Structure 1
């Protein structure tokens, strides 16, 4: 199947893209890497009258350190971030998760912000953003705002981005002292979306576990320092609270089991690598 007809605008500046969004609203879509959007266009699940290509906007292709944060522009490709020499030191959780995002060919085209905009509940990048307490920078013609990642993801492929807004950048906390990070996922094949994915952050005062692939969005829960049966009980309660359902990929029971086992695995790994 081929896409429905649409107009195409290659924006030269962020302001040009925002002007077009303001003029066309729900009839316009931002095109960056296109790894999700083009497939939706071909299946006619998305029928915009205008595509606004932002990949030639220089200001959106930067990764910059701002204080305690790493700021990732809307046109930064996943492979470019993965190749960043200091990423494992700056944001180790993203460094661990990016090799699990699709295949190298898709990461070479797909953007980091595009994965956040698509908001698939099984995707690795949204999961890491929630685990790290990242923020999503949104811009419209009249101004800008930031939204915490947990609040930004509103459901399956649903976000808090308004029709006249675009993701400008992701603001990701850099590695904190005495904090460990870990990531794991189970899928049918490497490169598939995860059946269950877990991201853990272990700090000096507690633990944080985020789970993707079970609920309609990535969900995080904070725990005090726990071990043994207390940790098992906390993970069991979290697994049930996620409300997983049976589908063609796995049963809810199987997913709950993965949350328990993988959750313990990544939390223990994160605690072990604190420094």
Structure 2
């Protein structure tokens, strides 16, 4: 059986950004629902290197999580305030990454998440090859730094961030063949990127074989899995424009998990975690129990 977790960012960003669910309340809820762990989103007041600066602070956090019978399945670090593709000097990004890598190591977390930070519209502003070079050179340094801390790096591709076409993703992977670097495969993002081609600059690129073809193309480089439904729509920003995948709860979208999960089960991701991602869902707190039940059923069938 796979260990189950959920991303805590569902409770402190988007609809919950102004009033996050208190972290201790999140721990209690996840324990009550018998999750095995949580995937920590280290921003907006939840534990991060700034509010847990010392080894003692971090040891106390680990103890608190363990008292609830939980463990960490991964760490989504706060790099969204950094410049990655929109600068030629990524010194600050690298420094923030290293600080977060030390934090993850101190908590006993094995995997850290990255994305390309800037929206896909940056492809209108700069040469593609120049952007690719900036990304690869910076992430090469970060991946090696992560390895020094005993960590793997999982890239969560999304329609809301640059390099969001299937060929883009493969191109980056080909240039970064490190064993500790791979793809965080989120079933909702997979739908929006490979099937719908949402927010892609220039010519839209989708795959005839949909997500199954995408998973096949990425096979051997998937190192983390997020399971959640998709209704083929994006979350909207404050102006009503598409931002990134909507992440509806299981059963409120169109995905066939009896098709997708067996394909993902074949991937040797290097650990036994399956994580629910309800990012930006307006009723994520209320939907958590439903999602845990659905995940448990998938675990019984395929875990």
TM range (shorter): under 0.3
Instruction: Name the structure where strand makes up a greater proportion of residues.
Output: 1
TM-score by length of 1: 0.27
Q: Report 1 or 2 for greater relative contact order, CA contacts < 8 Å, sequence distance ≥ 6.
A: 2
Q: TM-score, normalised by structure 2?
A: 0.25
